[in-house]
Amino acid sequence: MSTIPPLKTRSAQIHRKGEGAFALDCNKDSLAGAVSQRACVFCGSRVVLYPIADALHLVHGPIGCAVYTWDIRGALSSGPELHRLSFSTDLQEIDVIFGGEKKLAKALDELIDLHKPKAAFVYSTCIVGIIGDDLEAVCRKMSREKGIPVLPVQSEGFKGNKRAGYQAACTAMARLVGTGDTANISSYSINILGDFNLAGEIWLIRDYFRRIGIECVANITGDGRVADIQRSHGAALNVVQCSGATSDLAKIMEERYGIPSIRVSYFGIEDMAEALYSVARHFGDPKLIKKARQVVKEELEDLLPELTGYRKSLSGKKAAIYVGGAFKAFSLVKAFRLLDMKVVMVGSQTGTREDYLELEEITDDGTIIVDDSNPLELSSFLKEKDVDLFVGGVKERPIAYKLGVAFCDHNHERKEMLAGFSGMLNFAREVYSSVMSPVWQFVPRRAEENNHD
């Protein structure tokens, strides 16, 4: 099967395990003209803050920016739905010439009076950075007038990539932390950082922690509430799932309030169990550890028998992974190993050198490890490795289907719960139904194989 070689200028960001020493270049700006799979800075900040359900989210920029990120996460709320309304100042040519500050102030005045939010996040977009609107001054003035936090999110697209948007979001949230009452918070308490309640996952995770005796103070940001974030500095531990999206906030809280953090993942059996054990071990109470073991035991008794059937059918199938944050890739590699599937390609949009070193350790020889890839490369790798399943996000789906490859959505738009123990079973079912579908025998590459047989 013919493949197109990657661009020469991208060679340093592609590594094949077993072919020389590990020397992957990463954490850099995307190559101009390479059509990276990354999103913009504004999008990065929006996906982090969007699930805070009782806050107003106002995009200061052209209407297209708000449309692009409308309902950008499959984030569910147990109460308010204000976050799902994508408000915009809809900057026009005349605003570019004369400035958009008055328009922004008027929009905030009307929206805050109408919706009575607990806080307001105002996102600056590329055009705002060009015309020089003083977002900070407008927000400060409106905060005094309305009596709620009005927080600027400095997310102009001149800072590199999506990761800079994560930093902008954390900087904005840090202004909320420390402004609430911390009375009556348990000594066995945590904040859950980096879970965005896709398909209701944070409710499941909170229940696991409740069952072992841990209080969850704030969800940051899935099903998030402004008041909880304001009092989150009273928690004893930050449990950080997405290393890229909320790690900056965890660092700020450790520096300001001395709150330690641990990094976990809730995807797959191994990592979900270890997340519970890690939190229990942190507090050092034997009762918590015992309860954590009991929860894991109860969950696995229901899960493993059904999982065994999927494993038999999927054994030996080949999977490729390309996700936003590298933490997902670690868990997915382990999950595919549990299903006896072989990972032949793995990459991320925002991984660090440490992330890729860890991926190199847990993958097999010949596995392609790639940073900040593009459609040309991904198509080439899928063809070269004759992949049965591609795991990615909404931008990767067309690549898979055009090549006749099964696809599994593991990005923030998905509506299927994949975290936790029951999420692993959902993942196995989705992988099985996708890979084993009879439709693939009719795509050109499989049809040729069938004819040869």
Residue 223: per-residue pLDDT: 96
φ and ψ at 30, to 5 degrees?
-65, 150
Summarize pLDDT for 113-165 with one digit per residue, the tens. 999 999 999 999 999 999 999 999 999 999 999 999 999 999 987 555 667 88
**Structure confidence at residue 328 as a pLDDT band (50, 70, 90):** confident
User: Which domains are assigned to the chain?
Assistant: 8-28+315-414 (3.40.50.1980), 41-174 (3.40.50.1980), 189-295 (3.40.50.1980)
Q: What is the mean pLDDT of residues 250-259?
A: 98
Query: In terms of Cα–Cα distance, which of 367, 370, 381 is closest to 348?
Result: 370
Which pLDDT band, with edges at 50, 70 and 90, does 31 fall under? low
* 3-class state of residue 398 by DSSP: helix
Strand pairing class (318-323; 406-409):
unpaired
Looking at residue 18, its pLDDT comes to 78
**What count of Cα atoms within 13 Å lies in the side-chain half-sphere of residue 339?**
27
Question: Which position has the token pair 């400095």?
Answer: 154
Residue 181 burial class via C-beta count within 10 angstroms: exposed 0-12, middle 13-18, buried 19 and up: exposed
Report the 10 Å Cβ neighbour count for 23. 8
Residue 56 pLDDT exceeds 90: yes
- Name the 3-class secondary structure at 344: strand
Rounded distance, CA 446 to CA 453, Å? 11
Q: What are phi and psi of 407, to 5 degrees?
A: -130, 145
Structure tokens at 255: 């520096």
- What letter represents residue 291's amino acid? K
pLDDT at residue 104 tops 90: yes
Tokens of 42: 């504004």
Average pLDDT over residues 304-318: 94
| Nearest CA among 55, 91, 61, 71 for reference residue 169 | 55
Cβ 187 vs Cβ 212: under 8 Å: no
Mean pLDDT (the chain) is 90
The 10s digit of each residue's pLDDT in 331-365 is: 999 999 999 999 999 998 878 888 889 899 999 99
CA dist., res. 46 & res. 71, Å (int) = 10
Predicted model pTM: 0.89
